Structure 1
């Protein structure tokens, strides 16, 4: 596995077609424009573009929903639609690509074989799974390529995915469902932690507003510290746990045999299984 940070502008494609401009697609487009992709190099297809997407495209000169016969095969096609509509959308997009096009998918559960069947004729495929913090360029993306993808095409994909955060490349496509379960769905687990920590604070006697403020700041601060520290997460946990102290008492509950560890393991397994089921 290799990990890369923000992509370099010189590897960005000369032309890009984004299919799907929802929250993830819009976040990616904004990231690409920030790292140097000219608006004139991008085209977006979305049947129901939201006001934010419309405003961004208008402000940066990005073509939004042009006539299909005016779209030349792009160097990069980024697919950011719902996985369930791939079979419907694929045939509509297939005529717009050729062997010069690299398909980059962010569809959960859809395999390289699924993508190749739905949109044949591309010169290579990158399967990836970013997560919600991509919206603030703090995303975590797991990615893999179709066999034999040219290095320059992978570098281009790395630049595009790196514009929204950290990219972790894996050689085994079978690991992508696990990436989906850990990082793709992971932000929801963290948001749930903040939600339940606040609820527990209320149960312990804190006013609701104070409990929410403390829980939110605690999760955000711990995350920032984790991102900046070179120490393993387990070491950071040990560093704030005094023997016989309050944190130790809480961790004794969380780390019990039926506590947080097996619960999270089961949650990740459920997400991974669901990602596998989406391949059809």
Structure 2
């Protein structure tokens, strides 16, 4: 008589098979092909471009620009490399409610979930390779809440993504590790693009994805993305979900203290005095 597998990182089989759960358990990520409709992604792309061109009010969105392209006179879609905090944007919030995405997340971390962090990431052409890439890192480094097993990212390709335009690469199984100290790797200039050191020779897997493909991954999984070396763009839309009973923690005195202080400095320059943990409560 075969014993039933024991799962730690996934919750149930409502929308996942045992094999799919086992893959996530062992690797810390899983890809579902053609999960998000192309019509939805086209709507998000148009809205992003409208924001870049000033045709749509950006409201409370956080608009980020590629550091190297700021010196070239690039504008709009050719300059903006990320929109964050879109959970109050009527168009982009639809991704957080996408039924196919939410079903998978609910099987991984449970059905009582909250969208806590949101990004539409754009890699424009002609950016410096060191500002276009994201060094190897763990998402938990940025999050002052726990437990880690109750957090999951969804990451959807808005077009084909491969090694030429900066696909994700992961170290399978690294979600079973600890949260490592993060620093600014050499030559990285974009704010908060922290990374880990010492994994240069670790075996990595490139996640080549087509439009609509969606990766789900654990916040301790070591991952990064390469530079965009093409003449086109590379866009993805992503949400981090957390089980709604996660607790905010104080990161002072931990390896996360310097990211907290960096973000607090950025907000002070904008005229706001706020604690890092409170920023996440407000989200």
TM-score (norm 1): 0.27
Give the structure with the higher percent strand: 2
Q: Select the structure of larger CA radius of gyration.
A: 1
Q: Greater RCO between the two (CA within 8 Å, min separation 6)?
A: 2
Give the structure with the higher percent helix: 1
